[in-house]
Amino acid sequence: MKGIILAGGAGSRLWPVTRGVSKHLLPVFDKPLVYYPISVLMLAGIREILVVTTGVDLEAYKKVLGNGERFGVEISYIVQHEPRGIADAFILGAEFIGGDQVCLVLGDNIFWGQGLSDQLKKCLTKTGGATIFGHRVRDPERFGVVEFDSNNNPRAIHEKPNNPPSDLAVTGLYMFDNRVVEIARNVEPSDRGELEITSILNHYLNAGSLTLEIFGRGFAWLDTGTSSALLEAALFIETIERQQGFKVACLEEIALLNSWISKDQLAKDLSLKDKSSYGLYLRELVE
């Protein structure tokens, strides 16, 4: 399975902070926001990653992430010239996806919880269909929401409904078989002119090939699309790291644990970087 990070858009909800920098490169405590969705793909064991971004921000992403070698992965890039919706990522990334399955993560989503890696790897063993990940929220009208039938099975998914049929939101993490490319190409733009991911999900649902995984209690899903949400995410990560003593979404650590890089490789990349708390943490890993 290959991975796609959708890091385009104008960041209009964070204006004027995003006038000079992509929102996915803004800091969430001690690392760029984009590290968090990349960590999800790495925890799932995915090593080929495509970052979808804007032409204005492309060089900044290359400077921050490079080709992924220091994280033990392969990172490539493609430009989305205008915001056309989440489903557009599969059209843009068709050549990258090739004949493989694909996992898409939104660039402003943070996932944290015990057993996340195991849950993701279990989903990767499925050979067909689509898998979505649900999380209960207090404000479901802001998200895609799952409607259930009388047997508590998913019946439909509604995009930002005025009267949500449930409190189970669809998170920004999706896994698809290879059919998603052709399905995306046939999606009609919504009233707001975008290719909605909900259209793809309902296609799989109507075909009986959509699986719903629910993140339960003790699990955190953070959508950092607003200034308040970005601050809350930073405070959450700071609390976890301070209380537990380990870093969340430390890409180098994940690579070490997966045996994708060696301590010697990591040590070579640490010169002059261990004056930050993140760099000191990497130094401790090496030593």
What pLDDT does 193 receive? 80
Residues linked to residue 31 through DSSP beta bridges, in sequence order: 28
Q: Residue holding tokens 């080709």?
A: 67
The residue written with tokens 């994940």 in the block is 254
Distances (CA, A) of 266 to 191, 251, 260: 48, 11, 11
DSSP 190-240: -TTS---HHHHHHHHHHTT-EEEEE--TT-EEEE--SHHHHHHHHHHHHHH
258 closest CA partner among 3, 72, 115: 72
- CB–CB of 124/44 below 8 Å? yes
Domains annotated on the chain, with CATH? 2-129+171-212+220-249 (3.90.550.10)
Give residue 268's pLDDT.
Answer: 85
* Residues 6+ away with beta carbon under 8 Å from 219: 111, 112, 113, 114, 116, 135
The pLDDT score that the predictor gives to residue 150 is 83
pLDDT, position 122:
92
Please give the structure tokens belonging to residue 104: 């898409």
- H/E element holding 53? strand 48-53
pTM assigned to the model: 0.95
Whole-number Å distance between alpha carbons of 231 and 81: 29
Mean pLDDT in runs of 10 for the chain (287 residues)?
Answer: 91 86 94 98 98 96 96 97 92 97 96 93 90 94 90 88 94 97 94 88 94 91 92 97 96 97 89 80 91
Query: CB neighbours of 244 closer than 8 A, spacing ≥ 6?
Result: none
Give the separation between CA 185 and CA 94, rounded to whole angstroms: 10
Q: Please classify residue 209 by burial: count the beta carbons closer than 10 Å to its beta carbon, then call 0-12 exposed, 13-18 middle and 19+ buried.
A: middle
